[in-house]
Structure 1
Amino acid sequence: MESRKKVSLIHINRPQVHNALNAELLAQLGTTIGDLNSDGSTRAVVITGTGTKAFSAGADLEALSAMDVHEAHLFLQSGQEILRRIEQSGIPVIAAVNGVALGGGFELALACSFALLSTSASLGLPEAGLGLMPGFGGTQRLVRAVGPAVARYLMLTGRRVDAERAYRLGLSVLPPVTAEELLPTALTVAEEIAKCGPQACRSILRAVEHAQDAPLETGLAYETTLAAMAVGGPQSTEGIGAFLGRRTPDFDAVSAAHQSHARRESA
């Protein structure tokens, strides 16, 4: 893992097996995301694959083939919980997809806040062709991303989606870029996010998460509560003051002062 300008870069580092996801790697990823959420300094995370060929080719099939039903259930349940932790992260997690993202690799990208793709990227859930089915949340998140018809088609045929079509389907938020441009682009986006109010970003992520299943009226009420808390909070005072004073806001100083005050109050 690398850190720069309040942004952390995580490499999925098993290039010898196209960055396949095994239990150890998933556990490490979950721990890392949890640590970054609580360190108080990280404002955005970028996840990418080591090498040029794969973001992640999916679950480690060799390990999967040795599992019985009970072992597979535990492995898949653990994987779902870790991807859910990424999806519910209080800091944005960006998938920089630098090659194939298949099976669990695609499911990981779907669990991130959003994805950016290189022109060589391709996405797919090919499990049915192996007598399997997606098990890290693909049947649920892909439907939400592209609708049930496209999701059924992609999962039932196992066909891959190239980077350009993925962008048109809304699976990437920016047009594909070259492999050389992918990480600089992802880091630039992450650094833009890192300049914003951290509590505001957390609240936005919470509100969007709430919107996935809640009725509109419930979601609007939740948004009002979070937005009012932002208006009355110290970070908005700094942000608005900086805007009116034509300076760059110093959200770190506000956070440090707030933490110091909280420690004095609890003493």
Structure 2
Amino acid sequence: MAAFAGCRVVLQALRPRAPRPGGGTRRYSSDARSGDDLSVRYLDGDDAGIVVIGLNRPKAKNAISKGLVKGMSETLESVRKNNRVRTVVLCSMVPGIFCAGADLKERAKMHQSEVGPFVSKARELITDLGNLPMPTIAAIDGAALGGGLEMALACDIRIAATSAKMGLVETKLAIIPGAGGTQRLPRAIGVSLAKELIFAARVVDGSEARALGLVSHAVEQNNSGDAAYLRALELAREFIQQGPIAVRMAKLAINQGIEVDLKTGLAIEEACYAQVIPTKDRLEGLAAFKEKRPPRYKGE
């Protein structure tokens, strides 16, 4: 496992079993932890290729601080460079909360001149999350407010517990969403509904979020408080069985194509398709189909 500079990461070899973040002893194939702010876990065995990034600031309800921005930025850079990573799950290690948004206690101590640069760094972090080449899944088992929801919106797929609370509530503080919320929420649920939620600083639960299209799946919460995480892990296991280069190219084609006209989008798809033709994985897929066996993709 890679150690992230400045994050005080400690690796521990543990039982190769995927955990439940909200309940009982957490057991992983390997566990890389970064102080009190972040938990980074690389799963192996049948779950090899899944990385779980857990927000871990229990006293601050996972609020976005300078330290969290720094640690998560370093983590995303390491994950981005690792071709063995096939899917990223973003979750919380704190029961009942995903992320409460900006750390307002820290913000109150900032000089006015510091606020703009910090918000820019937070926006850059969330943009980096959105630009990861592999699929990303946000598991929302608790409140995701303000910057917390903006972080989830940067992920490809969002799964929420029906009891989770979500909203861009910045207008209550006489500010606006500043880390992509005014752009990503309309793209997720449509312009009119996004305006309504942002103007009213409205908070919705997981069921309402599913009806709006804000999340892809809403699941009943369990006694351990990690139902969304477990559903996200199931989905990640589906993703890692597919050709990793193909999945990355599909994500690139979708992300770039959705922003342009159809003709340009089709050209982007063609260019991405051209990248998978010479791969060993494509030949392996054909061979596995012919031999009626599961493919063994290596990302080559």
Output the TM-score relative to the length of structure 1. 0.91
**Cα distance in 2 for residues equivalent to 1:135 and 1:69:** 16
What letter is aligned with 1:122? K
1:18 is matched with: 61
Secondary structure of the 1:101 match is strand
1:127 is matched with: 170
State whether structure 2 residue 135 is matched by structure 1 residue 96.
no
Q: Please tell me whether the aligned partners of residues 167 and 176 of structure 1 are also in contact (alpha carbons under 8 angstroms).
A: no
Higher normalized helix content (fraction of residues): 1
Equivalent residue in structure 1 for 2:274, among 208, 221, 228 = 228
What letter is aligned with 1:3? Y
Q: Please tell me whether the aligned partners of residues 96 and 116 of structure 1 are also in contact (alpha carbons under 8 angstroms).
A: yes
2:289 is matched with: 243
2:12 is matched with: none
State whether structure 2 residue 49 is matched by structure 1 residue 3.
no
Q: Compared with structure 1, are the counterparts of its residues 212 and 81 closer, same or farther at alpha carbon in structure 2 (3 Å cutoff)?
A: farther
What letter is aligned with 2:75? T
Q: Please tell me whether the aligned partners of residues 189 and 213 of structure 2 are also in contact (alpha carbons under 8 angstroms).
A: yes
**Cα distance in 1 for residues equivalent to 2:176 and 2:81:** 34
State whether structure 2 residue 67 is matched by structure 1 residue 28.
no
Q: Tell me which moved more, 220-229 or 102-111.
A: 220-229
**Cα distance in 1 for residues equivalent to 2:211 and 2:89:** 22
Structure with more contact order per residue of length (Cα contacts < 8 Å, sep ≥ 6):
1
Offset from partner CA, 1:198-236 (integer Å, 9 cap, x none): 111110111111023222111111101211332342211
Unaligned runs of 5+ in 2: 1-39
What letter is aligned with 1:203? M
Q: Compared with structure 1, are the counterparts of its residues 54 and 180 closer, same or farther at alpha carbon in structure 2 (3 Å cutoff)?
A: closer
What letter is aligned with 1:2? R
Q: Please tell me whether the aligned partners of residues 86 and 111 of structure 1 are also in contact (alpha carbons under 8 angstroms).
A: yes
Equivalent residue in structure 2 for 1:198, among 240, 244, 250 = 244
Q: CA deviation at 1:40?
A: 2.1
Q: Please tell me whether the aligned partners of residues 142 and 161 of structure 2 are also in contact (alpha carbons under 8 angstroms).
A: yes
Tell me the percent identity: 33
Q: RMSD in angstroms over aligned alpha carbons? A: 1.4
1:70 is matched with: 113
1:208 is matched with: 254
Q: CA deviation at 1:175?
A: 3.0
Secondary structure of the 2:144 match is strand
Q: Tell me which moved more, 167-176 or 56-65.
A: 167-176
Unaligned runs of 5+ in 1: 256-267
Secondary structure of the 2:273 match is helix
Q: Please tell me whether the aligned partners of residues 57 and 102 of structure 1 are also in contact (alpha carbons under 8 angstroms).
A: yes
**Cα distance in 1 for residues equivalent to 2:293 and 2:208:** 41
**Cα distance in 1 for residues equivalent to 2:135 and 2:73:** 14
Matches within 5 A, 1:42-53: 42-53=85-96
Q: CA deviation at 1:83?
A: 0.8
Offset from partner CA, 1:163-215 (integer Å, 9 cap, x none): 01101111111232323432221111111111111111110111111023222
**Cα distance in 1 for residues equivalent to 2:194 and 2:118:** 24
**Cα distance in 1 for residues equivalent to 2:186 and 2:82:** 33
Q: Please tell me whether the aligned partners of residues 218 and 228 of structure 2 are also in contact (alpha carbons under 8 angstroms).
A: no
**Cα distance in 2 for residues equivalent to 1:217 and 1:202:** 21
Report the number of matched residues: 254
Q: Tell me which moved more, 73-82 or 60-69.
A: 60-69
2:29 is matched with: none
Output the TM-score relative to the length of structure 2. 0.81
What letter is aligned with 1:225? A
